[in-house]
Amino acid sequence: MRRIAIINQKGGVGKTTTSVNLASALARRGHRVLVLDLDPQAHASTHLGIEPDGKSPSIYDVLTDNRPLADVLREAEPNLWIAASDINLAAAEVELAGVVGREMLLRDQLQPMDGQYDYVLMDCGPSLGVLTLNALTAAYEVFIPLQPHFLALHGLGKLLETTALVSKRINPHLTVTGIVLCLCESNTKLSQEVLRDLGEYLDKSRAQCVPWNKARVFASRIRRNIKLAECPSFGKSIFAYAPTCNGAEDYEALAGEVLADSPEVVSARVRIETMADARVAMEAPQI
């Protein structure tokens, strides 16, 4: 089961659009996909036709009341389930402040469901608070949606530093798999310059022991497309709303790239690292 956190502390860069439409593209190919809406704005829930009324069981109950994750899941499309969010989740930051191990709540909830889904995509809000920290602790991979503007690059370093801290202190299996360029304008000079700078930055990290030393910029570019902006208001993915538009074509291509990274390889790597951690623990002197 590939667990992927889709994060960027900057708003409006395409996190929710990518989470929902990539999930739908993978589900259309026959994979069982789970979306976790970890944003109090509940945009992913709304995007998939679920009204965040604050009355139905949601991811808030999972994190604050230890409700089993399976109890709050809803099937949004064939092969696609979502743990919805609502405005109550905004209070979770405060309510969990005094909880021991609060950054591991989501990871512990996902453990019993391991193997039931092929992909878990976590849509995170525009912050690096406890909800995003839960996603990073539960995930094996990170996808970073990025708008090809220079200002968007400024926050990337801080985001990567956060993944490094989580990898070092909490989740040694965490890696930054790739960067998704969203809201792209065709062949603009600015986009090309940003892409060049981003490539140079990633190349410099190849020999470093950091979670992003194998990250790549996905070849699929998500072009600016009005249909992608319209479909959330209809509660549909781009494939249900406008399956022949450029947006659907772009996310279909992105899904192909994600599938090319074999889930078996990712799972095997995690199993090997976990076994190695266990051996180290067994060999450590007992106090």
The DSSP bridge pattern shows strands 73-77 and 80-83 to be: antiparallel
DSSP state of 176: E
Owner of token pair 């209070």: 91
pTM for the model = 0.88
pLDDT in tens, 103-154: 999 999 999 998 999 999 999 998 888 999 999 999 999 999 998 887 777 7
Closest CA to 105 of 155, 162, 166, 64: 64
User: How does pLDDT run along the chain (287 residues), one tens digit per residue?
Assistant: 999 999 998 888 999 999 999 999 999 999 999 999 999 999 999 999 998 887 889 999 999 999 999 999 999 999 999 999 999 999 988 898 888 889 999 999 999 998 999 999 999 998 888 999 999 999 999 999 998 887 777 778 889 999 999 999 999 999 999 999 999 886 778 888 888 888 888 999 998 999 999 999 999 999 999 999 999 999 999 999 999 999 999 999 999 999 998 544 444 444 434 444 444 333 444 33
Say what the pLDDT of residue 188 is: 78
Q: What is the pLDDT of residue 262?
A: 58
Burial environment of residue 225 by CB neighbours within 10 A (0 to 12, 13 to 18, 19 or more): buried
Instruction: Report the chain's terminal Cα–Cα distance, integer Å.
Output: 36
d(CA 220, CA 53): 35
- Name which of 127, 94, 122, 110 is nearest 62 in CA terms: 110
